[in-house]
Structure 1
């Protein structure tokens, strides 16, 4: 099949800085984007330090799809080519929580979420096959850490063929307790305010017995992972736990929201060999 090259016009913001970017999707339509990434050190040597903004700007990525008109519910291969500012392939990457690249895919209304891990093929190229559940716009976000430069994220919007479903409103939750896969998960926030560090504590119990769950298994080397996006999909945070060795019932994280607005939070945890994902929506003053 014909490959469509999607060249990422560089934007990445590391820690609390934000950068503007424009990206071109496979159909040639321009998409504006504003991305932010936050990594919070936890003392784990498997976690790459964050690059500063000038270092991130020295790296570019080119996204390629195996089909220039990707179809819903059909296998699509995504390739990411990582290069320096002169177009030369960057070929060495640090392992960051057991993987050299983490990829997050979300639909425009944030109702669809997928966290996958492209395989490194060498010479700066990562590939992964996945499916999109329906037509519409999706944001692809790649986390990686070129050796000697540091951790960063690059993002790209693409359009999948077909009529997209009606957009689901992104409305702040009135209750921060959700039941997923037989687990009752409550999210506790000590305070919510833009540009202020806060603690996120996911408390997990059996939904039927209400017994605390204390046998969570490591997921990518930690008790869990949290991804946060704002309503527009432009502010991106990938947060790791403050106590990676915890097995529950509490999974604690620390982060800060860069701006006021509505954010969607996905917590990911593992029990009995199965990963479960718990979404929450909060409003940040």
Structure 2
């Protein structure tokens, strides 16, 4: 049986590899995203540029928002310009939106073609630039519906109505409670939960067929294609099946005439099967063949084999250059099985991928997926400003999630989370003395963790704040090989402090797990707590005046804009720790911690953060920025009590 042509092997291998990659991709994502009552489209469209004055913004959801839904429109200067909202007339969506509902333990798709608008009135357009619309509602199944959309306005400035004042209201507490009852943006919540009392019956369209192939269809197609390719391979070379089953290949005996010398069978360059070459015919080959024979003879001599001159040498070289026939009692010649092994591995990998995907799909059928916010254009990503584990990210960050340690979008109130514990070496130090503060991060086995991911240029950030929300410091410890972190720390005032370790550890399975762990630290002496300063939109940091623009909102992502100006005008901000600024917000009382990440680029010369205030209360915000190679911190009080 002749070998399978090299081209056929390569083509078949490539097709099987492509099929294997496709099967893994299709079967890896077995759990659908759930986003109920989500934003389907808007007028103007998200990220659109508008040149004509607007009086309303219309947001189309897959079901009608609740009567106490909350909407806020923020102008480029950070002031709100919304002037109430109302329900609009339903209309057909530009593109259908598919959502998933948990029915009898499995997720069933529903396709929505009708949008239910919330019409948000705009009082005026005070400036050119980006306008942001934030929204908060509760879907009919109890899911929180929250997020933002933005558009850029380039038209003429319009005046405000006489006597109008920018709104400062916060969402209805019952709305925030209903939204938080079923989890936050990045946390799963029961899809079968009953709607809250404030939610009216939603006019949900009847489920329709999704029209696309399901997992079973893809599996059937994949198996059929694999069977065709495998059949082609077996048809081209049946002996592979025997080898895979462990049977040794035997070359059948051919009747040959009585002749002396070693027998030979044709090589690839020899005559077709069934023909033999005599010694004299072999000696008559071309000069190129003679050179090849010389090389073979030299190789035989290097192995210590006896090679004689003349016809005997020719016969020996012929025997070396072509595999001999298998005589009775002889072992079969060695065969190169690398191509067969690769093909067998590809086929086996394809089968394993299909079985694993099917098993994962069955296991994942009863699990609840992460809640996401379906955006216009069919992209499903976490809502802007969603926060888990004390981290909040801007819209441009991209789709990702963190494993949280509980608490309503704050962290740092616990010394342990997700199996990791902050273990300080010392819990106290004298006032006004610089000491080397040391600690470890230990895992569930009480072993020091040593594999940390670099986030914002550092593997770990240590934040220090007094219990009275004064004495802020942002430090960067160094770790020894045994997992002990060390950083110089000086605390000039007596009192109690909270130390937050903000890091991302690499778990045993290779995942990056971001966490914030907090621990108390005591400085003995007479302690007089400082009074929290009154809220002010401006602060001083060194020679710079820093203004905060925007309205922090409970339970809702809102843009917070920070502008830095010197004596001669806007300051030239420099990247600090991988960003143009960092904002740490600490809640009074339990010292809950929120670390807000800015947009990657300056927006109209300012640093923009997307902050979700987790609850009513008072907060202290610390804004770190860098100018001329020096880091400054501006402090603000946020009062949402």
* Match in the other structure for 2:570: 212
CA distance in 2, matches of 1:102, 1:16: 23
* Match in the other structure for 2:559: 199
Task: Provide TM-score, normalisation by structure 2.
Answer: 0.36
| 1:109 aligned counterpart, secondary structure | coil
- Within the candidate set 562, 576, 581, 1:224 is matched to 581
* Match in the other structure for 1:169: 531
Shift of 1:158: 1.5
- Within the candidate set 44, 52, 59, 2:420 is matched to 59
The correspondence of residues 102-121 of structure 1 with structure 2, limited to 5 A, is 102-121=461-480
Structure 1 residue ranges, 4+ long, deviating more than 6 angstroms after superposition: 14-17
| 2:391 aligned counterpart, secondary structure | coil
The 3 A distance-change label for structure 1 pair 75 and 16 is farther
- Unaligned runs of 5+ residues in structure 2 are 1-183, 188-387, 407-415
Q: Which has the larger radius of gyration?
A: 2
CA distance in 2, matches of 1:248, 1:80: 41
- Within the candidate set 597, 614, 632, 1:240 is matched to 597
Give the strand-richer structure, 1 or 2: 1
The 3 A distance-change label for structure 1 pair 100 and 41 is farther
Residue 638 of structure 2 is aligned to residue 277 of structure 1: no
Contact 2:392 2:610 (C-alpha < 8 Å) held by counterparts = no
| 2:595 aligned counterpart, secondary structure | strand
Contact 2:394 2:609 (C-alpha < 8 Å) held by counterparts = no
Give the helix-richer structure, 1 or 2: 2
CA distance in 1, matches of 2:617, 2:534: 10
- Within the candidate set 176, 183, 188, 2:549 is matched to 188
Shift of 1:124: 2.8
Instruction: Point out which structure has higher relative CO (alpha carbons under 8 A, 6+ apart).
Output: 1
The 3 A distance-change label for structure 1 pair 248 and 181 is farther
Shift of 1:138: 0.7
Task: Provide TM-score, normalisation by structure 1.
Answer: 0.78
- Within the candidate set 439, 442, 463, 1:83 is matched to 442
The 3 A distance-change label for structure 1 pair 99 and 183 is same
Shift of 1:89: 2.1
Count of matched residue positions in the alignment of Structure 1 and Structure 2: 244
RMSD: 2.7
CA distance in 2, matches of 1:137, 1:122: 30
| 2:485 aligned counterpart, secondary structure | strand
Shift of 1:178: 1.7
Shift of 1:198: 1.0
Q: Deviations over 1:95-131 (max 9, x none)?
A: 0100011001111111210000011213332111110
Shift of 1:58: 1.4
| 1:145 aligned counterpart, secondary structure | strand
